[in-house]
């Protein structure tokens, strides 16, 4: 009887041991299954709104900004370039650009699986944002691509043929923009894998377009009559209206890059506004000190500088970091369009390099200083959050320049048959010769 009781007591022990062994041999069965991607109506609505806001930044925002800054005889030419550019670049993006930027390929280029949006149905969710339709993601990224191309035209403004500009931009968006977008945001991209931080396009949009604008300005040459004719903006009020549309639209640009209607979008929005406001103040004060009074053109330029500089950082840095970035952007970019430009002597007509180039580089570097994991998430820390190595990555990031891509199309489209200078005489944006 005593032996029977001992045996009965041992049964639960061996049963528990067997169950523990079975659980150890099949851990996957015990782990909860990952939830399937689900469409979010809120996220989709926000991304649709963001796409419209960014489209508004180009037509009419950037178009009016540039049109007010050029001479009166080139206003319609600038508006036509901006409007037609939005059309032709949109077509190219949907046909092939999106596929090259956001599909699997190698570290530098995507593939061709999404040519003409092949394989995308109304129910297909975006691989990069599994709560919104891929069609919405395509449209959002399209607005980035088209405005980036048109930004370039501010550099060689007043002296580039319409046909040359459009052929150049068409090649540029395929040969330069799409590969850079893939490297920074695409699956397996080179810069993304390296750990660099770019929330909304510091390199893809601003440094990228500024380098193209600077190279185009230098290769085409200076405007005819630069030292002897009046080159002042013909309508600063038009420029202010365009700049205001950019300020409002930029909330879609930066907050939309969170790809969700959540806390990250809200933080990106407040950082964007604060940095812009701070840059308006710092640029105006710097101009006041140097020139004796501030100007409306300077205040608008300061706003653009702040928007550019906060773009790579807006979803990674605290509010205090955004404030410092904005203040620094106003001062650095003011120097960029005055002392820096004068020292090197290039003719960047609408100061694309001074604002987008230097502002983008400044923002990329300061992202490595102020980024914090509490804002951007795990692995998104900068120097002040205990990760000095991020500053080195950002330095490499800002130094990375896609000249290899620019050389492909710049030399073939600007130096040969489509060059915007003929017999050493500058040609206007509309194709009419300027007076010699």
Higher pLDDT, 409 or 264: 264
23 has pLDDT over 90: no
- Count of domains observed in the chain: 1
Q: Is residue 32 part of a domain?
A: no
The neighbour count for residue 222, using CB atoms within 10 Å, is 15
* pLDDT in the model for residue 409: 44
User: What's the pLDDT band for 336 if we cut at 50, 70, 90?
Assistant: very high
Q: Is residue 204 part of a domain?
A: yes
| Dihedral class, residue 229 (left if φ above 0, else alpha if ψ from -120 to 50, else beta) | beta
Q: What would the pLDDT profile of 182-207 be if each residue is shown by its tens digit? A: 999 999 999 999 999 999 999 999 99
d(CA 346, CA 336): 12
Q: What would the pLDDT profile of 113-162 be if each residue is shown by its tens digit? A: 999 999 999 999 999 999 999 999 999 999 999 999 999 999 999 899 99
Q: Is 366 helix (H, G, I), strand (E, B) or coil?
A: helix
Q: At what angle do helices 162-172 and 75-92 cross, to 10 degrees?
A: 30
Q: Is residue 12 part of a domain?
A: no
Q: Is residue 119 part of a domain?
A: yes
Give residue for tokens 């001062």: 331
DSSP 261-282: SSHHHHHHHHHHHHHHHHHHHH
Structural domain boundaries enclosing 255: 51-426
Rg, the chain, Cα only: 26
Q: Is residue 43 part of a domain?
A: no
Q: DSSP state, 35?
A: P
Which residues, in sequence order, are CB contacts of 16 under 8 Å at separation 6+?
Answer: none
d(CA 368, CA 373): 12
Give residue for tokens 């130094």: 399
Q: Is residue 2 part of a domain?
A: no
d(CA 377, CA 379): 6
Q: What would the pLDDT profile of 252-286 be if each residue is shown by its tens digit? A: 999 999 999 999 999 999 999 999 999 999 999 99
Are 315 and 367 a contacting pair, CB within 8 Å?
A: no
Mean pLDDT is highest, among 18-22, 332-336, 385-389, 418-422, for 332-336
Dihedrals phi, psi of 192, to nearest 5 degrees: -65, -45
Q: Is residue 23 part of a domain?
A: no
Are 139 and 60 a contacting pair, CB within 8 Å?
A: no
| Among 436, 337, 422, CA closest to 160 | 422
| Burial of 17 per CB tally in 10 Å (0-12, 13-18, 19+) | exposed
The whole-number average pLDDT for the span 354-370 is 96
Q: Residue 64: in which H helix or E strand, if any?
A: helix 63-69
Are 276 and 250 a contacting pair, CB within 8 Å?
A: yes
* pLDDT in the model for residue 31: 53
Question: The domain spanning residue 203 has which CATH number?
Answer: 1.10.3430.10
Instruction: Give the dihedral of Cα atoms 239, 244, 248, 254; nearest 10 deg.
Output: 50
Give residue for tokens 């190279």: 215
Which residues, in sequence order, are CB contacts of 45 under 8 Å at separation 6+?
Answer: 261
Q: Is residue 33 part of a domain?
A: no
Instruction: Flag the least confident range among 88-102, 158-172, 262-276, 382-396.
Output: 382-396
- Average confidence score pLDDT of the chain: 87
DSSP 160-224: --HHHHHHHHHHHIIIIIHHHHHHHHSTT-HHHHHT---SS-IIIIIIHHHHHHHHHHHHH-PPT
Instruction: Give the tokens for residue 253.
Output: 């640009």
On the question of a cis peptide bond just before residue 60, with omega within 30 degrees of 0, the verdict is yes
């Amino acid at each position: 009887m005593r032996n029977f009781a001992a045996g009965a007591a041992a049964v639960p022990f061996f049963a528990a041991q067997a169950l523990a062994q079975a659980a150890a041999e099949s851990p996957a069965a015990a782990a909860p299954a990952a939830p399937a991607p689900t469409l979010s109506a809120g996220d989709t609505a926000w991304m649709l709104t963001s796409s419209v806001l960014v489209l508004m930044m180009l037509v009419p925002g950037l178009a009016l900004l540039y049109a007010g800054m050029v001479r009166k005889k080139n206003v319609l030419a600038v508006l036509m370039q901006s409007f037609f550019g939005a059309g032709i670049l949109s077509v190219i993006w949907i046909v092939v650009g999106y596929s090259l930027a956001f599909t699997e390929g190698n570290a530098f280029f995507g593939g061709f699986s999404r040519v003409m949006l092949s394989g995308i149905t109304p129910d297909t969710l975006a691989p990069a944002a599994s709560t919104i339709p891929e069609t919405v993601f395509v449209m959002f990224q399209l607005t980035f691509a088209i405005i980036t191309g048109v930004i370039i035209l501010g550099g060689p403004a007043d002296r580039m043929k319409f046909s040359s500009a459009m052929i150049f931009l068409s090649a540029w968006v395929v040969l330069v923009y799409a590969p850079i977008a893939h490297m920074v945001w695409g699956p397996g991209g080179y810069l993304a894998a390296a750990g660099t931080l770019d929330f909304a396009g510091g390199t893809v949009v601003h440094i990228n377009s500024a380098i193209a604008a600077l190279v185009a300005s230098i290769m085409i040459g200076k405007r005819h009559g630069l030292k002897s004719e009046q080159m002042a903006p013909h309508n600063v009020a038009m420029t202010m209206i365009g700049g205001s549309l950019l300020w409002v639209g930029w909330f879609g640009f930066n907050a939309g890059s969170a790809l969700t209607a959540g806390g990250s979008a809200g933080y990106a929005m407040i950082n964007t506004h604060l940095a812009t406001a701070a840059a308006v103040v710092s640029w105006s004060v710097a101009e006041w000190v140097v020139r004796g009074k501030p100007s409306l053109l300077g205040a608008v330029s300061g706003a653009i500088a702040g928007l550019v500089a906060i773009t790579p950082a807006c979803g990674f840095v605290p509010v205090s970091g955004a404030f410092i970035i904005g203040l620094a952007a106003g001062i650095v970019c003011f120097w960029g369009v005055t002392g820096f430009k004068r020292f090197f002597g290039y003719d960047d007509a609408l100061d694309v390099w001074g604002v987008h180039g230097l502002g983008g580089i400044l923002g990329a570097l300061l992202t490595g200083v102020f980024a914090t994991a509490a804002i951007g998430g795990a692995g998104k820390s900068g120097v002040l959050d205990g990760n000095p190595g991020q500053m080195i990555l950002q330095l490499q990031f800002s130094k990375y320049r896609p000249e290899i891509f620019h050389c492909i199309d710049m030399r073939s489209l600007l130096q040969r048959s489509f060059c915007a200078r003929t017999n050493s005489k500058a040609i206007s944006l509309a194709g009419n010769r300027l007076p010699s």
